[in-house]
Amino acid sequence: MKDEEEQTNDRLNESSSANPTVRSEFDLIAQIRRRTSARASAASSLQPSSLVRGIGDDAAVIKQLSGRDTVITSDLLVEDIDFHRDSTRPNLLGHKALAISLSDIAAMGARPLWALLSIGIPQEIWTSDFIDEFYEGFLALARQYDVTLVGGDVSRTVDKIVIDSIVMGESASGGEIFRSGARPGDEIFVTGNLGGSAAGLRLLEQGARIEKAITDENEWHLIQELLLRHLCPEPRVGWGLVLGQENLASAMIDISDGLSSDLNHLCRESEVGALVDSTQIPVEPLVSELCGRRALDPLILALNGGEDFELLFTVSPENAARLPTRVDGVSISKIGQINKAAEGVLIAEGSRVWNLEPRGWEHFKG
Amino acid sequence: MKDEEEQTNDRLNESSSANPTVRSEFDLIAQIRRRTSARASAASSLQPSSLVRGIGDDAAVIKQLSGRDTVITSDLLVEDIDFHRDSTRPNLLGHKALAISLSDIAAMGARPLWALLSIGIPQEIWTSDFIDEFYEGFLALARQYDVTLVGGDVSRTVDKIVIDSIVMGESASGGEIFRSGARPGDEIFVTGNLGGSAAGLRLLEQGARIEKAITDENEWHLIQELLLRHLCPEPRVGWGLVLGQENLASAMIDISDGLSSDLNHLCRESEVGALVDSTQIPVEPLVSELCGRRALDPLILALNGGEDFELLFTVSPENAARLPTRVDGVSISKIGQINKAAEGVLIAEGSRVWNLEPRGWEHFKG
């Protein structure tokens, strides 16, 4: 297992040094196809369903197997809404595009297997290194989880980049974990730590950038790591698989909008209430450190920040003892319990109890 | 079977008269979910694979069946590249977004079953009728072919609309028709007529608009119908199914870039050449009529125009006799034959023979 600094460097150095080449979109498709075809055939003997035809036809073809379910999600990333070209890097953007969809598959308790990528880019990006570096970040993460790129689309746009990431996965039939399965008495858990992505976003908004030198050298590592939490999130694929295969969780959702919003989504779908203990929320230590220096409240970032892509799940008391303590080096925290719907979705801070209002991300306000 | 004028009116009148409502994206998702859930359960008893979970969770879930293959495609539509807001209508755009992906599934010889839709829109569109009308056009076409919307994403954009349409279908394992299966001696066929979409696009560029009054009333119906060929194409789902299920075609592609480009794609994948007889190309009669009035060459539009979404397929001489003459009222034309690769991709005009250069649509020129 690599330490965090090494991983950070890996993520930073995944950009290509190849010169941009003049090519048509058909050249690009042929090039991506060469980079994925070896992978596809190597994977097909190991994986539960196998690839019949990948990139290069009107559609991709995958063999089905009885007793299995296909799980599929799509996620749109829009320039200047979901990311800014000048505050990320193409390889990090490629990583993140795939990561957010892998996170959705993990939140179903399923195994990711196949990806499609629809990407729209303006002409000046087409003739730059962007595309090569973007696919490098995307494909490096795909390799990490044995996911094969099997299709997609390439289009021109007027001036902004747009990416739609589609991931298909599989689980044993009926083995998916829905948002709707939580029952009163279940315990609420979350993987990893929260608030790092929101802190990274605020640092970006204040002008911090990947690998940019700053006056206070003591803060450099702290800032770099928090920026990466936002720009290069790690999906909890391993936890999703374990919880799904072992039938451990009664309900699950990934934290994309923010804990407060996503817990409310889960409770609404399950028709239950919840009581969260604020002292048990695993605030990212780097966020606490940053907030200490800036006199900010780290709990607000952890509750409403969004894009941490940790898994929020519920477990019946009988199953709680069977939970592993760590998967892929990531631990979990018990943050509360599920109650009846009538009790509402609440958070306790010491002796005070509040309604936990959904204050996470919304694209459109009503 | 409705006549063409009635169909035209249906397509024009599919817009909603409901007032735009103030809502969040979660309201929209809940609303779409209500409109699709009845359909999903009604369909599941009839269709080969069944929906376990549609809109409203982290991902959609579909039950697999042995002996079947999943076929999946995604198509990106970008404002001011692939369409212009002022020259189409939201319901026609919704129809077209689904139609182009249905056409890809048809070109594999498969049956479309499930759709996902990722859509990015600016704030001012969010608070207009656009979204309701767009989904109405999309869902009307989905109903026509028993396709169920099972997921997707909604995002905000700065100023342009972007749509990624994902369709999954099914075929008997090994029953797909690839681009790569054409063999020397096979006959080349195309469904329907060609050039209508390109003529419609040129009319749009010259300022013609749906339902706009014009000075020369004799041309009104001609222009309206050609505009719809571009703005509201009909995917050849029935032909795709028949050719796939009856194992009739050796290779197939849909005409999205243009006959000249798509035949070259098919020949490259199959490692064959082709000879097309220009006199057999089914030029859309309305295009001939328009070109006659404008002193233009209709054959150029039929060869290089693109977006007709007809199916181009090859059939062995033994199978040619088994081809139906019409499916869903659409006939086919034999336009040439497959030769060895060394002979090249050619078109004969009387006694002259030329290389058929791919002159269709490319998003990026090399």
**Domain range for B188:** 179-355
Tell me the pLDDT of chain A (366 aa) as tens digits. 444 444 444 444 444 444 445 677 778 777 777 776 544 444 444 456 789 999 989 999 999 999 999 999 999 999 999 999 999 999 999 999 999 999 999 999 999 999 999 999 999 998 889 999 999 999 999 999 999 999 999 999 999 999 999 999 999 999 999 999 999 999 999 999 999 999 999 999 999 999 888 888 888 999 999 999 999 999 999 999 999 999 999 999 999 999 999 999 999 999 999 999 999 999 999 999 999 888 789 999 999 989 999 999 999 999 999 999 999 999 999 999 999 999 999 999 989 999 999 988 776 754
Q: List the end-to-end C-alpha distance of chain B, in Å, as a whole number.
A: 46
Distance CA A255, CA B109 (A): 39
A160/B157 Cβ within 8 A: yes
B155/A78 Cβ within 8 A: yes
Set of chain A residues whose Cβ sits within 8 Å of the Cβ of B68 = 64
Domain match, A211 and A151 both:
no
Pairing of strands B162-172, B111-121: antiparallel
Domain match, B92 and B218 both:
no
Which residues, including other chains, have CB under 8 Å from residue B53's CB and lie 6 or more apart? A176, A178, B60, B61
Domain membership flag for residue A214? yes
A-proximal residues of B, 322-351, CB under 8 Å: none
- Backbone φ and ψ for A191, nearest 5 degrees, come out as -80, 155
**What CATH number should be reported for the domain holding residue A36?**
3.30.1330.10
Q: How far is CA B284 from CA A188, A236, B95, B356, in A?
A: 63, 54, 21, 20
Please identify, among A150, A172, A194, the residue that sits at the C-terminal boundary of a domain: A172
* Polymer length of chain A: 366
Please identify, among A115, A143, A172, the residue that sits at the C-terminal boundary of a domain: A172
A105/B58 Cβ within 8 A: yes
Count how many domains chain B has.
2
Distance CA A323, CA B287 (A): 67
Domain match, A214 and A154 both:
no
B59/A105 Cβ within 8 A: yes
Nearest chain A Cα distance for residue B113, angstroms: 13
**What CATH number should be reported for the domain holding residue A350?**
3.90.650.10
Domain membership flag for residue B168? yes
Domain membership flag for residue A95? yes
B69/A63 Cβ within 8 A: yes
Q: Which of B233, B229, B239, B228 is nearest to B105 (CA)?
A: B239
Interface predicted TM-score of the whole assembly (ipTM), two decimals? 0.89
Domain match, B237 and B289 both:
yes
The pTM for the full model equals 0.90
List the single residue in B64, B166, B364 with the smallest CB-CB distance to A70. Answer: B64
Segments in chain A forming alpha helices (H): 4-12, 25-44, 90-106, 123-126, 130-144, 196-205, 220-231, 237-245, 259-270, 285-294, 298-304, 317-320
Residue of chain B minimizing CA distance to A156: B363
B107 lies within 8 A of chain A by CB: yes
B153/A76 Cβ within 8 A: yes
Domain match, A139 and A209 both:
no
Which amino acid would we find at residue A120?
G
Domain match, B65 and B148 both:
yes
How far does Cα B52 stand from its chain's mean position?
28
Domain match, A205 and A348 both:
yes
Domain membership flag for residue B318? yes
B173/A63 Cβ within 8 A: yes
B-proximal residues of A, 172-231, CB under 8 Å: 173-174, 176, 178-180
Domain membership flag for residue B161? yes
Residue of chain B minimizing CA distance to A180: B57
Pairing of strands A272-277, A345-349: parallel
B128 lies within 8 A of chain A by CB: no
Domain membership flag for residue A363? no
Domain match, B193 and B121 both:
no
Name residue A76's beta-bridge partners.
A164
Please identify, among A146, A172, A198, the residue that sits at the C-terminal boundary of a domain: A172
Q: Which of A96, A83, A95, A154 is nearest to B158 (CA)?
A: A83
B169 lies within 8 A of chain A by CB: yes
